[in-house]
Structure 1
């Protein structure tokens, strides 16, 4: 419950930060752009799995982001039936702005922790995540 509450507040804070900057994106759209920035061009299915979103919801998000000019769908080089999703130049620039917003939100979330405590928190959460993944 505590982890869910922390996530909810991070999402709320990130969306408030975006709104204050006049950026009309939701947290899920931020995750999509961030993932594309780090992974490079991938299929919609791979992208959906990487942020744990169902296919229908991913299609709606991609449509919106494509409409804003942040990404494009290109034919897959090896599979004529598939499309690869990639960032546009505008998407790359927006991703950098989003990462700056994310950095401010995370810094504010950890302001009561000193550097050692921040590192310990990252270590604890990484270990919990790994233990859960090892179970599967």
Structure 2
């Protein structure tokens, strides 16, 4: 069988540019949280945000919302529980289901992340027009839809 010699110009592909942007953003948030004395990761902050909007989600719902597999989410939630940011309680009707709730400490640290997140958004959108931001969101949604559709075929 002959091996195909495929030349891929990564500089002209969206993947590496999206990946690098995500890594820079993650690094910025990590450094900013540390600088403000906040013991939280971006992933933990995202979970706190989801619970802040809808407290008492079950672990499967959280996994679906943040695109994490169940085992890595379980580790993340265990760490957050040790830090005192969340508490897990068994569902009254179905003991196999854990519901996740914010603690007062979790609400407080989430509140403290808000100015840092807003500054990150301001940096991210600096020198972009409202129409460019809107268009970028539309494009990213299409990319996400493309992958979501493809994942269903795997």
Superposed pair shares fold, TM > 0.5: yes
Q: Which residue of 1 aligns with 2:87?
A: 72
Bigger RCO of structures 1 and 2 (CA < 8 A, at least 6 apart) = 1
Aligned-partner SS, 1:53: coil
Match of 2:129 among 97, 114, 118: 114
Give the paired residue count.
136
Aligned-partner SS, 1:16: helix
Q: CA deviation at 1:21?
A: 0.7
Which consecutive residues of structure 2, in runs of 5 or more, have no partner in the other structure?
Answer: 1-15
Q: Which residue of 1 aligns with 2:71?
A: 56
Check conservation: 1:17, 1:105, Cα contact below 8 A: no
Q: In structure 2, how many angstroms separate the alpha carbons of the residues matched to 1:60 and 1:80?
A: 20
Check conservation: 1:73, 1:84, Cα contact below 8 A: yes
Q: In structure 1, how many angstroms separate the alpha carbons of the residues matched to 2:27 and 2:147?
A: 26
**For structure 1, which segment, 8-17 or 37-46, has the greater mean C-alpha deviation from structure 2 after superposition?**
37-46
Q: In structure 2, how many angstroms separate the alpha carbons of the residues matched to 1:71 and 1:10?
A: 25
Q: In structure 1, how many angstroms separate the alpha carbons of the residues matched to 2:80 and 2:147?
A: 32
TM-score relative to the length of structure 2: 0.76
Q: Which structure would you say has the larger Rg?
A: 2
